[in-house]
Amino acid sequence: MIKQAGVGMPSRGFPRASALVIAIAAAAALALLSGMAGGLVRIGWPLLPERLVSPVALHSALMVCGFFGFGISLERAAALKKPVAFAAPALAACGTVSALALQPALAGGFWLAAALALVVVYAEMLRRTPALYTAVEGAGALAWAGGTLWWLLDRPFSAVVAWWASFLVLTIAGERRELARFVPLSGRARQGYLVVLGVQALALLVLAVPWREHPIAGGFWWASMSLLAAWLLRYDLACRPGMLRLAWSLHTARSLRLGYTWMLLAGAWGALNALRGMPLDSPGPLHMLLLGFVFSMVFGHAPIVLPALLRRPVSAPGPFAFVPVAMMTLGVALRALGDASGSTGVRAGAGALQALAIVAFALTMIRHLRR
Partner 1 sequence: MDTNDTFDADRRRALDALAQVSDPEIGESIVDLGLVERLHITPSAIDLTLVLTSPTCPMGDAIADDAWQALQEAFPGREISVSEAEGVEWDPSRLSDSARERLGWNDEA
Among 106, 131, 132, 323, binds partner 1 (CB under 8 A): 131
Residue closer to partner 1 (CB basis): 4 or 343:
4
Examine residue 8 and tell whether it contacts partner 1 (CB under 8 A).
Answer: yes
Options 244, 276, 319, 342; binder of partner 1; rule CB under 8 A: 244
Which are the contacts of 6, defined by CB distance < 8 A and separation ≥ 6?
Answer: 307, 308, 311, 312, 313, 314
Amino acid in position 180: A
The end-to-end CA distance of the chain, in Å, is 22
CB of 369 to partner 1, least distance (A): 13
Beta carbon nearer to partner 1, 175 or 339: 175
* Positions 9 through 28 that interact with partner 1 (CB under 8 A): 9, 11-14
**Can you tell me which of 34, 54, 96, 134 binds partner 1, judged by CB under 8 A?**
134
* Contact status: 123 vs partner 1 (CB under 8 A): no
Helix (H, G, I), strand (E, B) or coil at 77: helix
Is 41 or 121 the residue whose CB approaches partner 1 more closely? 121
Produce one character per residue of 203-227: b if its CB has 16 or more CB atoms within 10 Å, e if not.
bbeebbeeeeebbebbbbbbbbbbb
Residue 340 burial by Cβ neighbours in a 10 Å radius (0-12, 13-18, 19+): exposed
Maximal C-alpha separation, the chain: 60
- Give the Cα separation of 318 and 34 in Å (integer): 30
Least distance (Å) between residue 94 CB and partner 1: 22
DSSP 3-state of 155: coil
Residue 181 binds partner 1, judged by CB under 8 A: yes
Rank residues 49 and 242 by Cβ distance to partner 1 and give the closer one. 242
Total Cβ atoms within 10 A of residue 4: 16
Q: Closest CB to partner 1 among 80 and 263? A: 80
Choose the stretch contacting partner 1; rule: CB under 8 A; options: 102-110, 178-186, 223-231, 363-371.
178-186
- Is 83 an interacting residue with respect to partner 1 (CB under 8 A)? no
Interface residue with partner 1 among 82, 245, 367, 370 (CB under 8 A) is 245
Question: Whole-angstrom Cα distance, residue 348 to residue 364?
Answer: 24
3 is a site residue for partner 1 (CB under 8 A): yes
Give the residues lining the site for partner 1 (CB under 8 A): 1-9, 11-14, 75-76, 78-81, 122, 125, 128-129, 131, 133-134, 137, 174-175, 178-179, 181-184, 237, 240, 242-245, 248-249, 304-305, 307-309, 311
